[in-house]
Homo-oligomer: A and B are copies of this chain.
């Protein structure tokens, strides 16, 4: 089974060698404070190194005081929602959105409402109407290389979005884990640029640029917003959310290993996109439509001929190929004629074989229907 539904890095590309190097520096250091309860916000040295790493990628200077280390982006979403919303409150999410985010919000008793997005992402009028109708506390958005659509919100829309949210007292939770995974062109700066608005949390992670198993991420926000998170009893009791892993990653940041690894990753993913694009043209051709991605992890394919992706999933399983049908990403059962393919998890030969199988599956479904 080749499952393009898996939105995870390729196992044999994960950097155990770099971690080995880091560990052999860290665990011999005479300063072993990382083994004890750490500061709630995360080790100052780590935050300084992270700020130094982010600056050139983001295109502006990052203040270490605005960074708060977490156990991954998912924990960041959980803690922000638990702190800034209460059971019964509403969170707006994009429709379609990252399919595993809504459950994090629902677990906290929050209502999740989808706001349809268009070719350029969230539209100001649609957003404002949704805010007026649902009076949400939070807006969860993926402003760059959106999961699943690949859409990036243009600069002017970002500013309008912040203005609208600030005006209505809605906090923006921006999932920017794909910001540094831009393979072509220059993306708009992350919403982390706008934290002075007191309206934005930028959530990001080492999961996609180093390894998911690290469970290390961060929130970037104004010190005023961070202050509420830093008062959490969880931090007072447990110390920082992942100090040992943070200190390990610190070694990779200051050695330049993280930067070099990210450059390699970007080349690899860029090649995989070219390959998958060519294969999709060859084997699915006019049966699908899509915009070739320039970043992130995903192709978002529209099936032509009113085919249903949930139906296609069943046929594809018989051809030993998988994907995530569009309906999975929707709050409203929309996008049934879409599918999301990840190019990240497989090597070039598996991608090739998988797309061939997918082509067969689509033809099989078409022949059944026609």
Partner-B contacts on A (CB < 8 A): 8-9, 11-12, 14-17, 19-20, 23-24, 27-29, 32-38, 71-75, 77-78, 82-83, 86-87, 98, 100-109, 207, 211-215, 232-234, 236-245, 247
Contacts and interface: CB of A to CB of B under 8 A. Distances in A.
A324 to B, nearest CB: 13
- A interface majority secondary structure: helix
B234 A34 contact: no
Given A37-B213, A107-B233, A213-B38, A28 B16 contact: yes
Contact of A36 (B8, B73, B232): B8
A72 B237 CA distance: 10
A82 B107 contact: yes
Name the 8 nearest CB pairs between A and B, nearest first.
Answer: A103-B233, A74-B238, A23-B23, A20-B27, A104-B233, A100-B237, A14-B35, A74-B237
Contacts of A107: 82-83, 232-234
A19 B11 contact: no
Contacts of A98: 237
A233 B99 CA distance: 10
A205 B145 CA distance: 39
Nearest to A17: B27
Number of chain copies forming the complex? 2
A201 B231 CA distance: 26
A28 B241 CA distance: 26
A104 B23 contact: no
A34 B75 CA distance: 18
B16 A36 contact: no
A116 to B, nearest CB: 22
Contact of A11 (B24, B33, B78, B236): B33
B37 A234 contact: no
A242 B243 CA distance: 12
Contacts of A27: 16-17, 19-20, 23
A147 to B, nearest CB: 11
Given A14-B36, A19-B23, A212-B239, 6 more contacts: A19-B35, A71-B241, A78-B234, A101-B233, A106-B233, A212-B238
